Chains A and B, each alone.
Chain A
């Protein structure tokens, strides 16, 4: 591989790469605003100026004052070049830290702040704002301009999700490029020039495609804010965990930003993964975090309709075991969930095998449209994983379950998950059966018809993995603690098996996962 030198360090590059890209790959960040690894090069912010010291240096003529002669004389000074657009070439020596460059960085930074509003106190970006970071690193001087800054529109509604503030905007055009290149929808553009520049919507349009939140995500400053996250939290209080989006079968990698003080998730952000989602996520996926604390089932319940009442955890398990024992194994339906982890599904499949129940079903959500950008046609994150967990048994649908229940082939149900049907009433026929046990994190169709509902941990509270539509298993880690008395589903299933007098052959996640590779093998 050819090499060049950046600040005394050898960097190898693929022909065609820019200096910025090669450095980025090596983990070196040359200060930049407009360049984004996932977008085309605009080279309009000039923050990334570097000095090519040998190889392909350029000189710029200038007049300098000569003390001796007492007049201006023509000389030259090095011409700096934007690293984001400078093609890396064999053996060039580049500096991003010498005095020339430092002056340039400080000047660009000062220039960008020239008309910037004093908004950090009310700006959601504060804490993760590039202007703040680079000010601290590269400028650190106080204001020299004493006149009133130029004022521009603030608080402009771009669409249902995004608010724009032209005063904070540094005109890097990342948002325009994200709409053009990722969402393939040219809905944003720039108008005017100089300090009147602003980002505008295409006439008659709103920012309403499926990737609007990506504009906010790429905005290096606080010019675009998300209607959802707006004013909710301060980012410097947030910690970040690694998650996988539950929106669809693509399984975009996420950063789960939560506040450890309140145990609350505030937002998701895309986590770069070149093989899955690159740098992006869709709006619906970004909003899946809101499911977490809405409509949670926190207490085990028993009884239906008006007779529903809370019971203790142990009592609920006893009751469930009793109801399931009353049903003949051949007439017991076991419903896996495409919303739950492979591990949870595997535990349930093992329970089915131990009981000798061979009627397996799969509960999945519908009502979703895919596209050829990121979104899969299937909005269940783990259909593939659940299918693998079943180990080759064909999984019937929930519609089949209803039919079987009506025909009498099914007389008892144990179901994982809440997500199974669009309408709560759809499963109403199951109320005819006495033994319907639902293990669920949320209130939903199954818990609504269950005679015993037992809460289990939600996706942010467990260790687990999903298998996406490209058959890639992806693991994630818990960020929050489950509510008191609530366990991950696999643990609850194991406890239930214990009550039924069965040993499922695993004690912890590790031994359960060993079973997973077996199951995966059997499926193939």
Chain B
């Protein structure tokens, strides 16, 4: 059964109905990320794509409100027309699971708290999520947060809902912070560095006063797949440092970064369109790690731990890796057989602290290997108590994040 509300009141009724029936719901927006998380047994699909449209956009107040089922692409077009953007650079990961490009909704982006390369400077989706209108697992409609960029009134429930993968509430209205789009973007490339040297160079760049807004490393096999000619033809690993801002400033900072980092390594520079294209590839991953049979892990660790974690995994399984966030975000493609590398990846991450999400694997694997990093007992119990409060009967995406959430 598919439930498709066309307004918030109907949504609340539908959730209340499911509650009365004890019928678990799978919540979908664009349905692009259904392959993320544990497989679920649900009685109905709650399709929020009918709740669409931007309801308020005040560029000079830096806020935008929209129904949660609004396509991200529509929001990005609306803000781009005013020279603005969602600064957290939401990735379009749908194609990793075979979904079409550009099909995701803003509700899905927030519920998964995804962020692209600019995360290191501008924050994640959660940092731009100002207000929520939602229906919880008790079938009650309520709101949290506000419509201004600065607000500490009550608990910041928006943060809780960001990254809750639809297991606490069904979002139907969201308010976001928007930011001006940078006037210019350029990328300094360093060629031929090993991961450890690359991450050290990225740390130097991020530790400089040049306001770096992207810091990634593509080993040679990934660089070769880039659609950006300079990167593909490098014939070597490519380390990329992005600088954004007003024209004169970008030129000066790029020159300074080349001077600071370029010594000993071959360097090049990407301007405008090519720079944008490279960072779109890093953001969306699929074209750089195209093997659809591989299992895909998204690992977050302290940046300086990145190379060692990648090396530890690569020592025990055939691995391809993309480094973003200055080395703190690893996309690891490993064989999808067996436990999809879970034991190896999680051991490597646990040795340094961080988390590893199994982003893509067969449903059969995800049913036995927890896709989300297992938590210590006290934290898991606390998370369970939070779920108990918002969704006591387990009707909202039950089991998606963990068996008991």
Q: Do A and B come from one complex?
A: no
